[in-house]
Amino acid sequence: MKEYDVVIAGSGPSGAAAAKGLVNGRLSVLVLEKKKLPRYKICSGIIFRKSQDITGKYFGEIPKSAYVTPELLKGVRFWSDSDSYKDYPFTKDGSGAPNVWRSEYDYWLVRNSGAEIKDSSALIDFSDTGDYVLLKVHDVLNDEVIDIRCKYLISAEGGKSVIRAKLDPEFEKGLKWFVAYQNYYEGSSSLDPDFYHGFLEPQYGEVYAWFSVKNGMQVFGTAVAKGKKIKPYLLRFTELLEKKFDLKRGRLVRRSGCLGNNMCPEGKFYLGKNNILLVGEAAGFLNAFGEGISCALSTGLFAAEAISEGIKSNNKALELYTELTKRERRETTASWRLGARLAGRDLMPV
Ligand SMILES: Cc1cc2nc3c(=O)[nH]c(=O)nc-3n(C[C@H](O)[C@H](O)[C@H](O)COP(=O)(O)OP(=O)(O)OC[C@H]3O[C@@H](n4cnc5c(N)ncnc54)[C@H](O)[C@@H]3O)c2cc1C
C-alpha cells in the first residue's frame, strides 16, 4: 500500500496551495483529482488582487496560455436595474484583474506545486485509526478501488465534500443548497466586455445574475435555491440581455451548473476533525458574489503550515489551523454582510 505524509482530495486552488506549502515543508504529498486533468470548472475566472498576490508569491507569473480575451478586466459593474449601474474597479491603479480559463490556471497551479498528482481518481471513503488515515480511492480509468495510507488528509473538494459528509452527517443535513447555472454562447452584445457585470434585481436570480465575455463568448448565468425552478429566472435574464443589451446568441458552446451551500454567508465553517483538515469551499470559504479563489489559496497554505507544524508538535494541526484561519473566517462573513448592503437585500435567502 502506498503511503504519504499528506493526501489532498481535490486539485482546485485550495488543493494546489496546500500541496505547494506541504512540498515546500519537505513532506510527501499526493493530490487526488476525480476528473481527468485539465478539468473544466464553472467559474467567471477572475483573479482578484489577493489571489494575484498569493499566486505571484508562491507559484510565479500566470502563464499566457491561461488568459482569455479581454485579458484584464477593469472591474465589476453592478446594475441595480437595467438603466443604472455603479462601477467597482478591481485595482486602484486601473491595471485590472486577469481573466482566465480555470482549467488552465488550476492545472498550472497544481503542476507547479511539485506534489505527485493522480487524476481520474476519486476519494470515495476513508477511516481514521488515530495514527493514520486509510483511504479508498476509485481509479476511474481502470474501474478499481485502491487503498492508500496517510498521516493527514486534506479535503479540497469544493462545496460538495465526501469527507465533510462522512465526518459530520448532522452538519451536512443542516446545509441549504443553491444551484448555479452558466451558459457560453458565441455571439455579441452591447455590454462593455472590459467589465464583469452583476445584475442585482431579484427577478433575475436569488443570489444575483452575471455576465462576462471570454474569447468572444457571451458567458452568463444565475443562481437560485435548490428545489426552485431556475428556468424562469434564466429566461427573464436572457430576455433582458437581448432587449436592453442587444445580446445576439449564436451557437451554444457549453452549458454548465453546480451546487453551492449556505456555509459561507452564515459563517458555518467546518475546519476538520483529528488529522483531517478542510480547505477552500469544502470548509465554507467563499466570499460574497462568489469570489472564492483568494480564500481557497490562503486556507490551503494555512493548512499546509498547520500540518507541517503539527507533525513536529504533537498533532496540534487542527488547533493551529483554526487559529490561522481566524481572520479569513471573519473576512468571509463580513464580505457577505457588505454584499447584502450593496445589493440592498440578503444575497442567499434560505
Ligand atoms: C459561476 C461561478 C463563478 C465564479 N467566479 C469566480 C471568480 O471569477 N473568481 C473567484 O475568485 N472565484 C469565483 N468562483 C468561486 C470559485 O470557483 C471557487 O470558490 C473555487 O474554485 C474554490 O476552490 P476549491 O479549491 O475550494 O474548490 P474547487 O475549485 O471546486 O476544486 C475542487 C476539486 O476537487 C475535485 N474533487 C471533489 N471531490 C473529490 C473527491 N472526493 N476526490 C477527488 N477529487 C475531488 C473536483 O473535481 C475539483 O476539481 C465562482 C464560482 C462559480 C460557481
Domain limits of the chain?
A: 2-45+101-175+263-343, 177-260
Burial of residue 207 (CB within 10 Å: 0-12, 13-18, 19+) is: buried
Ranges of the chain whose pLDDT falls below 70: 350
Query: Ligand 1 centre from 157 Cα, in Å?
Result: 8
Residue 291 CB contacts under 8 Å (≥ 6 apart), including other chains:
46, 48, 335
Site to substitute for ligand 1 among 41, 49, 163, 167, most atoms within 8 A of C-beta: 41
The atom number, within ligand 1, closest to the CA of 122 reads: 42
248 Cα–ligand 1 center, Å: 29
pLDDT of residue 229: 95
Give 302 Cα–ligand 1 centroid separation in angstroms.
Answer: 18
Expressed in angstroms and rounded, the spacing between residue 169 Cα and the centre of ligand 1 is 22
Ligand 1 centroid – CA 14 distance (Å): 8
Task: Give the pLDDT confidence score for residue 312 in this predicted structure.
Answer: 84
Q: Considering only CA atoms, which residue is closest to atom 19 of ligand 1?
A: 292
Is the fold of 2-45+101-175+263-343 the same as that of 177-260?
Answer: no
Atom of ligand 1 nearest to the CA of 292: 19
The pLDDT score that the predictor gives to residue 313 is: 79
Ligand 1 pocket, CB under 6 A: 9-15, 32-35, 39, 41-46, 48, 51, 122-123, 156-158, 162, 180, 182, 221, 258, 280-282, 286, 290-294, 296
CATH H-level, domain 2-45+101-175+263-343: superfamily: FAD/NAD(P)-binding domain (3.50.50.60)
Atom of ligand 1 nearest to the CA of 13: 25
177-260: CATH number: 3.30.9.10
